[in-house]
Amino acid sequence: MFVKRLILMRHAKSDWSASGDDHSRPLNARGFASAPAMGDWLRRRGWLPDEVLCSTSTRTRQTLNLLALPEVPTRFERSLYLAEPDDILDVLYTANADTILLIGHNFGIAECAHQLVKTRPDHPRFGDYPTCATSLISFPIGGWTDVRWHIGHCEDFAIPREVIAETTSD
């Protein structure tokens, strides 16, 4: 059996004081610090995507850019903007690579993470999936269209606050 890996990330913290519509809302200062930290975390673990699926919103695009990951094929999908779990899964079914980074929004990202894994990780923040929270989920499947709810294995889960605290204490 083959293994596919999903890096499921909620966008970094956005700026609620910014003017404009929700889709164009940018990151705030905390978001600009969190996303690079999560990019470093992914690189340290060797979890680098072969393909990216990203919402078209400003805050998801900024999050992706600040991760500073190696350049890979990237698709910006409007259907990921405020998507429900089933809509996220529909986009995932179109993936072509073995390791996918998918960046989206709550509440869909949190619900999707909860439904994808067999067993939730023992982390108190997995339930609410705060901004820039990231799960590393593996699936014993041959292709993305074989993904079903509750078959994934959550190999890791992190939130920026803990990742930043880890690196500053080293």
Spell out the domain ranges in the chain. Answer: 4-120+134-169
Task: For residue 168, name the pLDDT band (cuts at 50, 70, 90).
Answer: confident
Are 72 and 50 in contact, with CB atoms under 8 Å apart? yes
- pTM for this model (two decimals): 0.95
Cα–Cα distance between 113 and 134 in angstroms, integer? 9
Q: In the predicted model, is pLDDT for residue 65 greater than 80?
A: yes
Cα–Cα distance between 100 and 108 in angstroms, integer? 17
Give the CATH superfamily of 4-120+134-169.
Phosphoglycerate mutase-like (3.40.50.1240)
pLDDT at 54: 98
Q: In the predicted model, is pLDDT for residue 170 greater than 60?
A: no
Task: For residue 20, name the pLDDT band (cuts at 50, 70, 90).
Answer: confident
Scanning the chain, the segments in alpha helix (DSSP H) are: 29-45, 58-67, 85-92, 108-116, 160-169
Q: In the predicted model, what is the mean pLDDT of the chain?
A: 95
Task: For residue 17, name the pLDDT band (cuts at 50, 70, 90).
Answer: confident
Phi, psi angles (nearest 5°) of residue 54: -135, 140
pLDDT at 77: 98
Are 52 and 72 in contact, with CB atoms under 8 Å apart? yes
pLDDT in tens, 111-165: 999 999 999 999 999 999 999 999 999 999 999 999 999 999 999 999 999 999 9
Cα–Cα distance between 98 and 121 in angstroms, integer? 22
Token look-up 């980074």 returns 101
